[in-house]
């Protein structure tokens, strides 16, 4: 079996997407994959990774700017490598009930990176949320944690199975 190194990068404002990324990274590690979990804005080079999982929070139907910039900045280097995308954001159970298509920027990233899959998970908004819009949502009673840990781990296990069936990129 080959040694795989995977980057799980994310854009998160209030920590919900960061938590999803951490769960994905932990699950990949449990499946024998070396996974680094990092904020997308802190990643300057993807050369050492065989595959990438990129996620972003959804705010007002927009994918987090750090995820958008990551996809744009690293598109050339990631072509030919396995890439998966996730979004987090609905503050209800809709993401568990049916497939939610990617918002426009995530859809463009999916095409640009030739991502194998995009999935939307439920989001989280705590009473300590930052930002005017988030605080207003909290005040209006729209807070809660709608992330489904079982669904997140199952998706990550699927990625691990897919990775184990592939060979690493030839330029490694």
pLDDT at 170: 45
pLDDT at 2: 63
Question: Could you give the count of Cα atoms lying within 13 Å of 125 in the half-sphere of its Cβ?
Answer: 21
pLDDT at 146: 87
Taking only the tens place, the pLDDT of each residue in 33-70 is: 999 999 999 999 999 999 999 999 998 889 999 999 99
Question: For the chain, what is the mean pLDDT?
Answer: 90
The residues, ordered by sequence, that sit 6+ positions from 107 with a Cβ below 8 Å of its Cβ are 101, 118
Rounded Cα distance between 82 and 78, Å, is 8
Q: Which helix (H) or strand (E) holds 26?
A: helix 16-30
The residues, ordered by sequence, that sit 6+ positions from 147 with a Cβ below 8 Å of its Cβ are 16, 19, 20, 88, 121, 122, 123, 124
pLDDT at 137: 67
- Find the Cα–Cα–Cα–Cα dihedral 7, 11, 16, 19, rounded to 10°: 20
> Which residue stretches of the chain have pLDDT < 50?
1, 169-172
């Amino acid at each position: 079996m080959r040694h795989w190194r995977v980057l799980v990068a994310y854009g998160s404002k209030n920590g919900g997407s960061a938590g999803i990324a951490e769960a994905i990274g932990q699950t990949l590690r449990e499946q024998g994959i070396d996974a680094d979990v990092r904020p997308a804005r802190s990643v300057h080079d993807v050369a050492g990774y065989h595959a990438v999982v990129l996620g972003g929070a959804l705010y007002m139907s927009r994918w987090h700017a750090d995820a958008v910039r990551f996809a744009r900045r690293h598109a050339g280097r990631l072509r030919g490598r396995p890439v998966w995308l996730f979004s987090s954001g609905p503050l209800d159970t809709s993401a568990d009930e049916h497939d939610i298509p990617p918002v426009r920027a995530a859809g463009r990233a999916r095409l640009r990176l030739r991502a194998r899959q995009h999935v939307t998970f439920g989001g989280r908004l705590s009473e300590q949320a930052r930002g005017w819009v988030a605080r207003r949502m909290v005040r209006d009673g729209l807070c809660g944690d709608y992330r489904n840990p079982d669904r997140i781990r199952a998706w990550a296990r699927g990625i691990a199975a897919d990775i184990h069936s592939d060979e690493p990129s030839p330029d490694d």
